[in-house]
């Protein structure tokens, strides 16, 4: 039996050697691999570009070509809509090369890979789907952009990162408001009040603070907590003396929960 295993090992090694010999890139320099990878990237051949970047980093792990290849690999993953791989590659680069002149790009791409610009279009989704929607990618995107802005305020990517952060803040606040409405309609008033309060705590500069206060006071009223309701109304009145909710209320809160899907 050991002889059989020995033969299998020899055959496997031989096959591996043949594959290596068949690789047309086996004698390419780092510069050559980099040039060809960029050509594939430019032509939109992301799978082939990724393979060449991997070979470059494996064969020539040191030097600027390898570091640049790692950065460009992040972009390849982004173009392939592989946010997990793009995030992992960016994290590895940031940890391994914190002083690289282009490390700000790694932060930016990490944020961009997890960024979704359809967050403000929640109206096209079923409300219960929004409540259950995973917020982790959005949070990761925001944190990456925030790190970029904090560590590299003068980066050329910072202005765009700030705009995307503002968008994400309002989107995350909107999700909490939709969730608060959802709970209110289902008569889960404590959950509604708590979720609305999250908007005040986490997103005090968002566009949804006014509605959060309104939902809070309505929820407190439903629970018979008159003191909390009056205190919240006072805050709403002080900060939004002409609030539309004083005259129009929020008709969406009164829609029966069983009509959420209509």
Tens digit of each residue's pLDDT (9 = 90 or more) over 148-205: 999 999 999 999 999 999 999 999 999 999 999 999 999 999 999 999 999 999 999 9
Q: Closest by alpha carbon to 173, among 199, 212, 193, 196?
A: 199
DSSP annotation of 63: S
Residue carrying the six token digits 């629970």: 223
What span, in angstroms and rounded, lies between the C-alpha atoms of 83 and 90? 10
Q: What is the predicted pLDDT for the residue at 143?
A: 96
218/63: higher pLDDT? 218
What span, in angstroms and rounded, lies between the C-alpha atoms of 134 and 137? 7
- Tally of CA atoms within 13 A in the half-sphere of 241 that contains its CB: 1
Q: Alpha helices, DSSP H only, in the chain? A: 2-22, 30-42, 46-59, 64-79, 83-96, 103-113, 127-132, 136-151, 158-185, 189-202, 209-222, 226-239, 244-248
Torsion, CA 165, CA 166, CA 167, CA 170, rounded to 10: 120
Average pLDDT, the chain: 86
The class (CATH top level) of 29-92 is: mainly alpha
Question: Helix or strand or coil: residue 102?
Answer: coil
Q: What is the predicted pLDDT for the residue at 23?
A: 79
Percent with pLDDT over 90 in the chain: 71
Dihedral sign of CA atoms 112, 114, 115, 118 in order: positive
Decide: 192 and 219 in contact? Cβ < 8 Å: yes
Question: Helix or strand or coil: residue 251?
Answer: helix
Listed by start position, the domains of the chain span 29-92
Q: What is the pLDDT of residues 39-85, one digit of tens each?
A: 999 999 999 999 999 999 999 998 889 999 999 999 999 999 999 99
Q: What is the predicted pLDDT for the residue at 131?
A: 65
Q: What is the pLDDT of residues 82-120, one digit of tens each?
A: 999 999 999 999 999 999 999 999 999 999 999 976 554
42/130: higher pLDDT? 42
The angle at the Cα of 129, spanning 125 to 133, to the nearest 5 degrees, equals: 110
CA distances from 231 to 51, 72, 136, 172 (A): 61, 54, 33, 26
pLDDT band at 244 (very low <50, low <70, confident <90, very high): confident
Q: What is the predicted pLDDT for the residue at 2?
A: 52
b/e burial code for range 74-104 (CB count within 10 A of at least 16 → b): bbbbbeeebbebbbebbeebbeebeebeebb
Q: What is the predicted pLDDT for the residue at 24?
A: 86
Average pLDDT over residues 135-147: 92
Percent with pLDDT over 70 in the chain: 79
Question: Helix or strand or coil: residue 260?
Answer: coil
Q: What is the predicted pLDDT for the residue at 249?
A: 66
């Amino acid at each position: 039996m050991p002889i059989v295993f020995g033969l299998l090992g020899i055959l496997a090694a031989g096959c591996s050697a043949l594959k290596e010999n068949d690789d047309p890139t086996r004698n390419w320099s780092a510069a050559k691999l980099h040039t060809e990878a960029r050509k594939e990237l430019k032509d939109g051949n992301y799978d082939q570009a990724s393979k060449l970047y991997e070979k470059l980093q494996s064969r020539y792990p040191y030097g600027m070509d390898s570091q640049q290849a790692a950065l460009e690999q992040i972009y390849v993953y982004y173009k392939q809509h592989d946010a997990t791989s793009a995030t992992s590659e960016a994290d590895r680069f940031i940890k391994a090369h914190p002083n690289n002149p282009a490390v700000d790009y790694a932060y930016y791409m990490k944020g961009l890979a997890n960024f979704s610009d359809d967050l403000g279009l929640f109206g096209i989704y079923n409300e219960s789907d929004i409540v259950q929607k995973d917020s982790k990618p959005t949070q990761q995107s925001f944190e990456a952009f925030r790190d970029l802005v904090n560590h590299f305020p003068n980066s050329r990517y910072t202005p765009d990162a700030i705009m995307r952060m503002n968008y994400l803040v309002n989107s995350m606040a909107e999700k909490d408001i939709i969730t608060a409405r959802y709970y209110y309609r289902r008569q889960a008033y404590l959950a509604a009040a708590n979720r609305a309060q999250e908007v005040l705590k986490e997103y005090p500069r968002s566009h949804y603070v006014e509605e959060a206060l309104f939902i809070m006071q309505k929820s407190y009223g439903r629970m018979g907590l008159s003191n909390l309701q009056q205190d919240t109304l006072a805050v709403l009145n002080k900060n939004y003396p002409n609030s539309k909710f004083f005259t129009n209320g929020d008709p969406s809160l009164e829609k029966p929960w069983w009509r959420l899907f209509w």
